[in-house]
Amino acid sequence: MPSEISVLIADGHPLVRVGVRNLLQTKDGVKVVGEVEDDDEATTETLDLLPDILLLDLTMPRLPGLEAMRAIMSGSPKVQILLLNRAIRAQHIIEALQIGARGIVLHDRLAEDLGAAIQCISGGGYWLGQEQVESLVGALHVLVQEQASPEQKSYGLTRREVEVIRCIVEGCSNRDIARQYGLSEETVKRHLSNVFDKLGVSTRLELALFALSNHLVTPTN
């Protein structure tokens, strides 16, 4: 962990930016290196300043927040992104986590949670629901556990298909999966097509939600 954690604040609300900056100035070992008010600036400044942590409001104007995240993670994959929002749909959080976000702090919990969340993700963890979560699968599981089925069903899935599902939940691309298991990308696509047919889903996000809510994938710490 670095001796001083550099932080870029990207939030469309001026009062929130001021409040976050003032809050972080009281935290030892944390340095605010910049502030921006929209997603275009967030992308540009992140790639220019290379902060350790980007505090990102997904609802800022101009470039959609999830698209900004994709651009940032493509150009600066080492940055740790912590979402700051008034409220956000669980589906958006799940998609953001799969892209690369490390957690979320709601605006009304900034004073209580922001410092701990920054320390948590700086140390490699995830922050969700006012607490630390050790793994991405665990973080996603928190978001869907209330809908989880009490019993696990196989749905006719093969061992390899379950392995592919776990990779999808963890945000892996087809190329990543192919490399991990020594498969061709065409084989991975075929496995995914079979999985979609068996589970009745049509997108990777729907697959991740289904897998977690039906215990096809369990969190690992």
Task: Assess whether 165 and 128 both reside in one domain.
Answer: no
**pLDDT for res 92:** 73
Task: Assess whether 81 and 27 both reside in one domain.
Answer: yes
Q: How far is it, in rounded angstroms, from Cα 127 to Cα 113?
A: 9
**Structural domain boundaries enclosing 43:** 5-133
Residue pair 124/5 in contact (Cβ under 8 Å)? The answer is no
Task: Assess whether 123 and 138 both reside in one domain.
Answer: no
Listed in sequence order, the residues at least 6 apart from 186 whose beta carbon sits closer than 8 Å to its beta carbon are none
Instruction: Give the chain's domain count.
Output: 2
> How many CA atoms does the CB half-sphere of 16 hold within 13 Å?
22
Query: Closest Cα partner for 16 from 63, 55, 68?
Result: 55
Task: Assess whether 70 and 177 both reside in one domain.
Answer: no
Task: Assess whether 102 and 140 both reside in one domain.
Answer: no
Q: How many CB atoms lie within 10 A of CB 189?
A: 14
Task: Assess whether 114 and 153 both reside in one domain.
Answer: no
Q: How far is it, in rounded angstroms, from Cα 199 to Cα 192?
A: 10
3-state DSSP of 17-57: HHHHHHHHCCCCCEEEEEEECCHHHHHHHHHHHCCCEEEEC
- Residue 93 buriedness (CB in 10 A; 0-12 / 13-18 / 19+): buried
Select from 118, 133, 148 the last residue of a domain.
133
Task: Assess whether 89 and 143 both reside in one domain.
Answer: no
Select from 90, 115, 133 the last residue of a domain.
133
CATH code, 56: 3.40.50.2300
**pLDDT for res 1:** 44
**pLDDT for res 90:** 67
Reading the chain (221 residues) residue by residue, the pLDDT tens digits are 457 999 999 988 889 899 999 999 988 899 999 999 888 888 899 999 999 999 998 876 565 678 888 888 888 888 999 998 876 666 777 788 888 888 888 888 888 899 999 999 998 888 876 656 666 666 666 666 544 444 556 788 998 999 999 898 888 889 999 999 999 999 999 999 999 999 998 888 788 878 877 778 765 54
Select from 133, 158, 188 the last residue of a domain.
133
Q: How far is it, in rounded angstroms, from Cα 119 to Cα 136?
A: 17
DSSP 211: H
Task: Assess whether 105 and 139 both reside in one domain.
Answer: no
